[in-house]
Amino acid sequence: MRHYKEKHIYVGVDLHKHTHTAVIVNCWNEKLGEIQFNNIPNAFPDFLQQVKGYAKRGVTPLFGLEDVGGYGRSLAVYLLEEKQKVKEVNTALSYAERKSYPTTKKNDSWDAECLAKILLNKLDILPDANVQDVYWTMGQLVSRRTGLIRSQISLKNQLHAQLSHHYPSYKKFFSDIDGKCALVFWHTFPSPQLLEDMTAEELAKVLRKASHNTCSTKKAEEILALVKRDGDTTRDYQHYRDFLIQSFVRDLRFKQEEMKNIHDEIKTLLGQLDYKLETMPGIDLVTAAYLIAEIGDINRFPSADKLARFAGVAPVLFSSAGKGKEQKSKQGNRILHGLFYNLAVQQVQVAKGSRKPRNPFFHEYYHRKIAEGKSKKQALVCVMRRLVNIIYGMMKNKTEFVLPDAKSIEKQVG
């Protein structure tokens, strides 16, 4: 009887923006051929036909791709639609494969061959490619939101720099430099010279309209007093400097409107997925979107342990000669690890006013672990691990979070 690996040929594909390179090997690690093709949908059918030409009767191709969410997404989607078997190869594995040879080299052909060898040698542990549109789309929305946040931070820093020249005491004007009322003020009065001969009541009228009557005449008086105390900041080419501030304000307003649009789209898409992660304390709409985008289809993880290892939460055993210990993992998806870390911190915090735990279950669990001799960092990792179990169950069964009562807490925190 033939070994099951003899029933396949192994196709490693090195992915790039414009062209891909594929190398085919058999079960004996012999290179059968190499194919270069464009990264366009019209080129994929011909590529698949060429690959099948290397497969003898009774032999089927297996494809290994590193990046099924970026440059390789279109190819992965096509292959899966054609009922082909596609495996996702971790970049760490391909890097280790290249470094395992006495003479290290790197080019498209060799990278593709390394992927094919990994596909052959580690076939049993490589995950199936999962490129469902809904999770990919959620990831794209989340990435767009992240980009907008970074852009807003950059714009605010630039606005800070300009305002420091125009209004030395500008930080005392408003609590938020990019608040709705503040933006109206900066755009209307980009420099103090535009406030000349303006009374407090006239300024208050502008501010009240922008703030829906929350800004008072007293606030206007405070601003005018600060401007007078700072003195004249007018300089040459003031018109162009005023234009810069107004330009930053217009850009910030656009970014804020886009953030609102992104938020609405994420909310709509989350509703279609029907997960109930937001029922858990500490998880808002944005956090839920980030978790779903990074985890993807929960069914690709057969257990919570697999999800924990994917997130880098599960400890790794380091030992030699029968001696060793489990250590904190620095592997896995670091974005997902950060999400679980931030969520764990929120679960063990107490409210500032009442000093009551935000989540009595995890607050008790956290301090129980510390009493057992664990450090605060170790106890927090324990909380993260429990969170993985809970979120895995909530996503798997699409259930709401239910806060355990006091008796349940006593039974579960041991």
Q: What is the pLDDT of residues 273-320, one digit of tens each?
A: 999 999 998 899 999 999 999 999 999 899 999 999 999 998 765 556
Residue 328 pLDDT > 80, yes or no?
no
325: pLDDT confidence band, cut at 50, 70 and 90? low
**To the nearest whole percent, how much of the chain has pLDDT over 70?**
94
Whether residue 293 sits in one domain with residue 169: no
Does residue 343 form part of some domain? Answer: yes
395, two tokens: 């996503």
- The pLDDT value given to residue 327: 61
114, two tokens: 């390394």
Q: Alpha-carbon distance 180 to 196, whole Å? A: 23
Residue 406 pLDDT > 50, yes or no?
no
332: pLDDT confidence band, cut at 50, 70 and 90? confident
**Domain count within the chain:** 3
Residue 49 pLDDT > 90, yes or no?
yes
Q: Is the dihedral of CA 397, 399, 403, 407 positive or negative?
A: negative
Whether residue 159 sits in one domain with residue 47: no
- The pLDDT value given to residue 413: 39
Does residue 406 form part of some domain? Answer: yes
Q: Are 165 and 244 in contact (CB under 8 A)?
A: no
Q: Are 289 and 266 in contact (CB under 8 A)?
A: yes
Does residue 323 form part of some domain? Answer: no
Q: Alpha-carbon distance 92 to 329, whole Å? A: 15
Residue 408 pLDDT > 60, yes or no?
no
Q: Alpha-carbon distance 234 to 236, whole Å? A: 7
Average pLDDT, the chain: 91
Does residue 396 form part of some domain? Answer: yes
Does residue 224 form part of some domain? Answer: yes
412: pLDDT confidence band, cut at 50, 70 and 90? very low
Structural domain span for residue 126: 4-131
- The pLDDT value given to residue 317: 57
131, 156, 179 - which closes a domain: 131
Whether residue 100 sits in one domain with residue 151: no
Whether residue 71 sits in one domain with residue 169: no
Q: Are 346 and 352 in contact (CB under 8 A)?
A: no
Does residue 322 form part of some domain? Answer: no
112, 131, 150 - which closes a domain: 131
Which phi and psi (to 5°) does residue 86 adopt?
-125, 130
How far is C-alpha 235 from the chain's CA centre?
44
- The pLDDT value given to residue 355: 81
Residue 210 pLDDT > 60, yes or no?
yes
Residue 385 pLDDT > 50, yes or no?
yes
Which pTM value belongs to this model?
0.82
115, 131, 147 - which closes a domain: 131
Whether residue 338 sits in one domain with residue 307: yes
- The pLDDT value given to residue 318: 57
Q: Are 221 and 200 in contact (CB under 8 A)?
A: yes
- The pLDDT value given to residue 316: 66
- The pLDDT value given to residue 102: 86
Q: Tens digit of pLDDT for each residue in 104-162?
A: 888 999 999 999 999 999 999 898 888 888 999 999 999 999 999 999 999 999 999 99
Whether residue 282 sits in one domain with residue 403: yes
Whether residue 238 sits in one domain with residue 168: yes
Q: Are 376 and 370 in contact (CB under 8 A)?
A: yes
Determine which of 125-139, 351-365, 390-404 has the lowest per-residue pLDDT on average. Answer: 351-365
Whether residue 304 sits in one domain with residue 404: yes
The CATH number assigned to the domain holding 258 equals 1.10.287
Q: Are 34 and 56 in contact (CB under 8 A)?
A: no
**To the nearest whole percent, how much of the chain has pLDDT over 90?**
75
- Collect contacts of 154-161 with beta carbons under 8 A, ≥24 apart: 155/248, 155/251, 155/252, 155/255, 156/252, 158/248, 159/186, 159/245, 159/248, 159/249, 159/252
Whether residue 17 sits in one domain with residue 100: yes
Determine which of 117-126, 326-335, 383-392 has the lowest per-residue pLDDT on average. Answer: 326-335
- The pLDDT value given to residue 354: 76
Residue 409 pLDDT > 60, yes or no?
no
- The pLDDT value given to residue 104: 83
Does residue 42 form part of some domain? Answer: yes
Determine which of 48-52, 70-74, 269-273, 318-322 has the lowest per-residue pLDDT on average. Answer: 318-322
- The pLDDT value given to residue 370: 94
222: pLDDT confidence band, cut at 50, 70 and 90? very high
Whether residue 211 sits in one domain with residue 186: yes
